[in-house]
Amino acid sequence: ETITVYSPYPRELIRSLLNDFEQTENVKVELKQGSTQVLLREIHQSDEDELGDIVVGGVLSEMIEHPDDFEVYESKNQKYMKYAKQKVPYVSDFILMPTTIVVNEDLIGNIKVRGYKDLHADELKGKVVYSNPLETTTGYQHMKAIESINHDVDDVKDFMSSANKVDKSSKVIQEVAKGKYYAGLSYESDAKAYINKGYPLKMIYPSEGTMLNHDGIALVKKENINPKSKKLINYLQSKKVQQKIADEYKIQSGRKDVFNQNKQVAAKFREIPVIKDEDISHLTRKQFLELIQ
Ligand code: BGP
């Protein structure tokens, strides 16, 4: 018996959670990785017999263009989540993920980078990289963060015309780590994974406002839904798994009753200058993407 999970997360993060589930449930979990929109497109275009089962990760409440590809589902754990009510009925909440700037410390020298504005410095011309907002959660969320500063899409256009676009979020972190670019628009888990590997990187929560991603989980609509797929959603939202995510990966849990045991980590999270909901553009993803073209 096999279930297939689509995920845009770094392998190290998602695979270990799935491995634990495989053991407890005695089921094999196959993993398909890619940028959020690439995976959603694959699901939309798949024939019934090739369809996988669950998407884990990505800001699915906004990234999903075809809600009909997914099953309306509310797990028994949803009530314990920080946002007890699902934003859309086909997405369950998972974890909260800040989008961050990363800089290569060996290259950045004296150039101060605290937020998005600093990336416009003359010395950084051609040295900043970001991932395609049409294909990735990360690129899209950063562009929304930039818009939220002055509520002006021209700021997004200015940024895009002076920075370098790549097709995948994982390339952003790779290329800043290896020194092809001085700075990039990334997200916490990817940045931390590379910092842990020893690359000379620093992670910066944009001072003008940091976008906190509400990462989701969605159940693929198909004729025969494996009951283990629903079990996996409940499992990923369970207190045990969420506590492990908080403690081992120092990620902000999506649950109300899970806190980072490490006081320093918890204090750091409270200091992140998170953009307030009311400052985020209320346009749909489609409208927003049209405006920034
Ligand atoms: C982060 C999201 C994660 C995941 C990751 C990679 O910004 O919070 O949920 O989506 O990006 O996805 P992508 O490659 O689509 O940017």
- Over residues 77-89, the pLDDT tens digits come to 999 999 889 999 9
Percent of residues, the chain, with pLDDT higher than 70: 100
Average pLDDT, whole number, for the chain? 96
Q: Which atom of ligand 1 is nearest to the CA of 170?
A: 14
Positive or negative, the CA dihedral 170, 174, 176, 181 is negative
Q: CA 208, CA 145: separation in Å to the nearest integer?
A: 9
- Say if residues 257 and 250 touch (Cβ distance below 8 Å): no
pLDDT grade for 27, boundaries at 50, 70 and 90: very high
The strand pairing partners of 92, in sequence order, are: 217
Question: Which CA distances in Å does 50 have to 3, 28, 143, 202?
Answer: 11, 16, 34, 41
CA of 136 to the centre of ligand 1 (A): 7
Average pLDDT, integer, range 12-41: 96
Residue 214: φ, ψ to 5°: -95, 90
Whether residue 186 has pLDDT greater than 90: yes
Q: Residue 232 corresponds to which amino acid? A: L
Buried-state track 137-172, b at ≥16 Cβ within 10 A, e below 16: bbbbbbbbbbbbbeeebebbbebbeebeebebbbbb
Positive or negative, the CA dihedral 52, 96, 140, 160 is negative
Residue 127: φ, ψ to 5°: -110, 10
Whether residue 275 has pLDDT greater than 90: yes
Average pLDDT, integer, range 11-26: 94
Mutate to test the pocket of ligand 1, among 12, 55, 101, 138 (most ligand atoms within 8 A of CB): 138
Question: Which CA distances in Å does 6 have to 52, 97, 218?
Answer: 7, 18, 10
Whether residue 158 has pLDDT greater than 90: yes
Q: Which residues line ligand 1 (CB under 6 A)?
A: 8-9, 35-36, 57-58, 97, 99, 131, 136-138, 141, 169, 187, 213, 215
Structure tokens at 250: 């120092």
- Over residues 102-156, the pLDDT tens digits come to 999 999 999 999 999 999 999 999 999 999 999 999 999 999 999 999 999 999 9
Ligand 1 atom 4: residue of nearest CA: 58
- Say if residues 167 and 131 touch (Cβ distance below 8 Å): yes
Question: Which CA distances in Å does 233 have to 53, 106, 145, 216?
Answer: 11, 42, 29, 10
Q: CA 96, CA 229: separation in Å to the nearest integer?
A: 22
CA of 137 to the centre of ligand 1 (A): 5
Q: CA 202, CA 189: separation in Å to the nearest integer?
A: 13
Ligand 1 atom 7: residue of nearest CA: 138
Residue 9: per-residue pLDDT = 97
CA of 273 to the centre of ligand 1 (A): 20
Q: Which atom of ligand 1 is nearest to the CA of 10?
A: 6
Residue 289: per-residue pLDDT = 98
Q: Which atom of ligand 1 is nearest to the CA of 139?
A: 16
Mutate to test the pocket of ligand 1, among 41, 187, 188 (most ligand atoms within 8 A of CB): 187
- Over residues 233-267, the pLDDT tens digits come to 999 999 999 999 999 999 999 999 999 988 888 89
Residue 84: per-residue pLDDT = 81
